[in-house]
Amino acid sequence: MCVATVGLVVEIQGQRALVDFSGALREVSIALLPQVKIDDHVMVHAGFAAEIVQDVSKLYREMVASDARAGQILDAIGERAKKFSDRQIRIMNFCGSHEHTTVQYGLRELLPANIELLSGPGCPVCVTAAEEIALGMEAVWKNDVTLTTFGDLVRVPTPWGSLAELRASGGDVRVVSDVQQALRLARTGKKEVVHLAVGFETTAPATAAAVVEAAAEVPSFSIISAHRVTPPAMRYILANHAVEGVLCPGHVAMITGLGPFHAIFADFSKPYVICGFTPLDVLQGILLLLQQLAGLPVTRNQYAYAVREEGNTVARNLMNEAFSLTDAYWRHIDVLPASRLVLREKYQYFDAEYRFALQVPPVGKEKGRHCLCENILQGENPRKCPHFATGCTPAQPLGPCMVSREGACLICYNKGRS
């Protein structure tokens, strides 16, 4: 109980705050810190936020810059990069979590000038179609249900407004930190609960488990599935962009195993590394990519301490039990084949779109709003957007990339990417 840990405040409800500890969300009391705001870093001890921590980015940057092991890997990257001094090497952080680590620890600034790290489309909140969020709105408008979802999604702007605006006008929209919380609400509350489920292979197994549980004993629970799988987006990036290697999401590989990654990158003959999320993981991943580019035989699983070749079969069996795949629009990107997880017919009753006959008109690509999320999700630096930090800020976001914690625009805004 004597451990004090720094986390990021992502949601405030009265005297409680939802705090992000490197991706794990926990509710803590802010009774001792009434001045705290969303996006503050706080020191949490024994369930209470005790102090606001200033200038965390500087602290993190100095940690890496003075770390001996990081120095060794950076020296090796520097040596290897000299061999490619006649060209730029473009490497993609597919996942928002890698982008987060890259910016938080100032890794771009530490790399040789000819190594370019691009941010990718691996932000599930950013790619959730506006229509899928609108289905949740329609469930609340027409059916008086409780809508639950994750905090980031609530503030995402759509042509129909945001879930936060719906909540402000009296709609019953609640933030949960996991799907089991939504299931508990359905068990104990008086209203039907619709959970708007987003995320990749990392969160889909938990949703599948909740649906299977609901089918046995919680008929007042249903979901709108906006879950996506990552391989179609990887193929899209490799087919449409000149990237020379990809840092692949280690947490996705934990579920899928290495097979899908081997297959994709064999088709495109490109280097890849399954990568963890600490700054040392990311630096080591970059070095392994450069070694592959040089034709050296190296492991492609940098995250071997957490990822098994076969992945997590229990999680995959649960996903297969509940879901099948369908084509889907990835917001600001394109329709990607077999990329959305939808409930199988045997669980149709727990599909809110079916149960409440939900329908919204498709909007597809949102032209004319001048948001550059399309480019940002495919490698562009957020600072190239004319609205960045002027017309578009976390308080007044124009696009999902300025809302989601894994969105490149918000990461850049909060942490100061160069």
Which residues contact ligand SF4 (rule: CB under 6 A)? 371-373, 376, 382, 385, 387-388, 392, 397-399, 401-402, 409
Residue 392 Cβ vs ligand SF4, minimum distance, rounded to whole Å:
3
Q: At 124, which amino acid appears?
A: P
Residue 400 Cβ vs ligand SF4, minimum distance, rounded to whole Å:
7
Residue 259 Cβ vs ligand SF4, minimum distance, rounded to whole Å:
34
Whose Cβ is closer to ligand SF4: residue 42's or residue 412's? 412
Whose Cβ is closer to ligand SF4: residue 174's or residue 331's? 331
Whose Cβ is closer to ligand SF4: residue 233's or residue 377's? 377
Separation between Cα atoms, residue 410 and residue 385, nearest integer Å: 13
Residue 398 Cβ vs ligand SF4, minimum distance, rounded to whole Å:
4
Whose Cβ is closer to ligand SF4: residue 190's or residue 367's? 367
Cβ neighbours for 9, distance < 8 A, ≥ 6 positions apart: 17, 18, 19, 20, 30, 36, 37, 38, 39, 40, 41, 42, 49
Whose Cβ is closer to ligand SF4: residue 248's or residue 371's? 371
Residue 370 Cβ vs ligand SF4, minimum distance, rounded to whole Å:
7
Cβ neighbours for 112, distance < 8 A, ≥ 6 positions apart: 77, 78, 81, 82
Whose Cβ is closer to ligand SF4: residue 123's or residue 287's? 123
Helices 96-104 and 279-293: crossing angle in degrees, nearest 10, is 110
Separation between Cα atoms, residue 373 and residue 385, nearest integer Å: 9
Order of strands, sheet of 146-149, starting from the edge strand that comes earlier in the sequence: 173-175, 146-149, 193-197, 221-225
User: How is 237-265 classified by DSSP, letter by letter?
Assistant: HHHHS--SEEEEEHHHHHHH-SHHHHHHH
Residue 403 Cβ vs ligand SF4, minimum distance, rounded to whole Å:
8
Structure-block tokens of residue 51:
């102090």
